[in-house]
């Protein structure tokens, strides 16, 4: 463990982010593999009556079945988006765990679904919230939604911090 003690906080954060990315990606791919091996297409298993089912479907679109069957679009836009978010993470890497983790979650979700699109030409979805009229989704979708939500929270916090600093600077100049 001497190795870890000698690392800076930022380097430890980068190692954590890489391991977290791998964990998220593996969690997505393993859940998809379990469903693929143990359920038939269209099969639904009640997990919590009236709340949650596991329903195995193939999705050739994006969220809410947008761009249904437009695989070429995904083959182009996903690597570009992945590169942009990776560049953003590297360029803006700070000791802000919230920002970094949110981008790592987005990247893991993107790659998990992209893997399915390349290997199967569809995405394996299985989580079905039955208490609302909502599309069936998967673990990668969950990482994407949580990651985007956390990134929005981080950006709002940064804007508020900047506004407070500008107000403080303005108040100091008026005195």
Catalytic residues: 125, 141
51's enclosing H/E stretch is none
* Residue 155: count of CB within 10 angstroms of its CB: 13
* Residue 4: count of CB within 10 angstroms of its CB: 9
User: Nearest 10 degrees: CA dihedral of 55, 57, 63, 66?
Assistant: -140
Buried (b) or exposed (e) across 115-138, using 16+ Cβ within 10 A?
bbbeeeeebbbbbbebeeeebbbb
Reduced 3-state DSSP string for 20-48: HHHHHHHHHHHHHHHHHHHCCCCCEEEEE
């Amino acid at each position: 463990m001497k190795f870890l003690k000698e690392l800076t906080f930022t380097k430890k954060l980068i190692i954590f982010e890489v391991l977290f990315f791998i964990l998220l990606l593996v969690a997505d791919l393993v859940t998809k593999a379990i469903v693929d091996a143990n359920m038939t297409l269209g099969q639904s298993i009640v997990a919590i009556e009236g709340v949650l089912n596991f329903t195995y479907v193939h999705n050739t679109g994006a969220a809410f079945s947008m761009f249904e069957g437009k695989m070429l679009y995904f083959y182009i836009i996903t690597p570009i988006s992945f590169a942009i978010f990776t560049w953003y993470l590297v360029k803006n890497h700070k000791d802000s765990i919230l920002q970094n983790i949110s981008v790592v979650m987005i990247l893991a979700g993107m790659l998990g679904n992209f893997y399915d699109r390349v290997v199967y030409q569809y995405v394996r979805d299985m989580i079905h919230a039955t208490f609302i009229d909502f599309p069936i989704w998967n673990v990668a979708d969950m990482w994407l939604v949580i990651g985007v939500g956390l990134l929005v929270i981080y950006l709002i916090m940064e804007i508020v911090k900047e506004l407070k600093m500008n107000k403080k600077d303005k108040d100091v100049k008026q005195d």
